[in-house]
Amino acid sequence: MATMTEENPVLMRLKVLATEKDTVWMGFMDIVPVIGTVKEAVELVLAVYEGNEAVIKEKEKAVENIVKESLKIHEKENYEKKLTLAEKPAPAAAAEEFSGLRNVRVVRKEMIIEYMVKGSKRGTKPQTQAQQKERQKKVEAIREDMLRKIRILKSNFNEELKEELGRSKRGEHVFNNDILKFHFKVLTDFIQICHIDNLRGYNQQAMNELGRHTLTQSSATDIQTNMVVHFGEDEFYVNANGVMYGEYCRALRAAILALLGHINPEDVTQEERQSVNFIIDNMNNFKIYVDQLAEVTWIGNNATRRARFEQVRKEVVTMYNTDRGVGWCIRILNQVAPLFGHRQ
């Protein structure tokens, strides 16, 4: 690739013009990575390698246009805007099904090495029938585990699962990102349903404090950005966590809103308290908010990562069970109940 770049003045000019970004574009010539800040340039290299004349002509023209536009622009913002308009995918008909062009993707700079390792393992051969059967067995095993956990709440629940062939650009989070805002959303729903924000004496700041998650900032950052796995195209992945977490969140939201609906904390029944606790206990015991495939891949054999995962999980368990459990609901009612004697 170095020789190709040296012989092509257009690509050399692109290298000079490239702006600083948090991400790059990556593709693979079999197992050799091709990295660049301009998607069209990466696709051009892959097209030349594969001898795809139709794509070569198209990408050469696109790259030339990018350079011409860039030479006219002096401000960084305008340059980036023009570059974005020029970055259009090649027509499907121009790239054959096995082409590396199909797998050109945007990658954050800090993930380059991880994605290179995964990409170097990517094969172009289709799966054998035996491999397909083995992967389907894995899907069924995960589905059975998912059904067992969800049917604790919904005995008649039934949903199919399939292997995820597409890959999310943001990656798969070890802890479901929604746990950072779940309680805030439920509290907001309660306020809107009961029109509490229209009552005299309503304190938005106090409600915001009650709705905020109770994790440390370092744990919240890990959940959002650090504990993330980018599965390769040929790696097995099934999004069972999305289904399980969604069902448990719906059940917990309904149970919390039923409890809060009394307004008067003294009217909350023991059955309603137990209902909330039952759902939370199962969420914590089964790690419903954890993507188990992402967990295993992210931790690997790294003892430091294992310890960090356990520390974050401990904080999440405490948040659901103690800081944002039944006691939290009662604190909300203690704030809200007095307001209903002072309607505007």
Q: What is the mean pLDDT of each run of 10 residues along the chain (344 residues)?
A: 46 46 70 75 77 76 72 55 48 46 65 63 61 87 95 93 77 95 97 93 93 97 94 86 96 97 95 98 97 95 96 98 96 94 48
User: How confident is the model at residue 284, as a pLDDT?
Assistant: 98
Give me the sign of the Cα torsion angle 98, 103, 104, 110: negative
Q: Which two tokens stand for residue 147?
A: 């059904």
Q: Which residues pair with 25 in a beta bridge?
A: 36, 106
User: How confident is the model at residue 88, as a pLDDT?
Assistant: 46
User: How confident is the model at residue 18, as a pLDDT?
Assistant: 44
User: How confident is the model at residue 112, as a pLDDT?
Assistant: 66
User: How confident is the model at residue 48, as a pLDDT?
Assistant: 78
User: How confident is the model at residue 233, as a pLDDT?
Assistant: 77
Q: What angle do CA 318, 301, 141 make, to 5 degrees?
A: 75
Q: Return d(Cα 66, Cα 46) in angstroms, integer.
A: 18
Task: Map residue 230 onto helix, strand or coil.
Answer: coil
User: How confident is the model at residue 341, as a pLDDT?
Assistant: 73
User: How confident is the model at residue 92, as a pLDDT?
Assistant: 42
Q: Are strands 32-36 and 172-173 parallel, antiparallel or unpaired?
A: unpaired
Confirm if 100 and 47 have CB atoms less than 8 A apart. Answer: no
Q: What is the pTM of this model?
A: 0.64
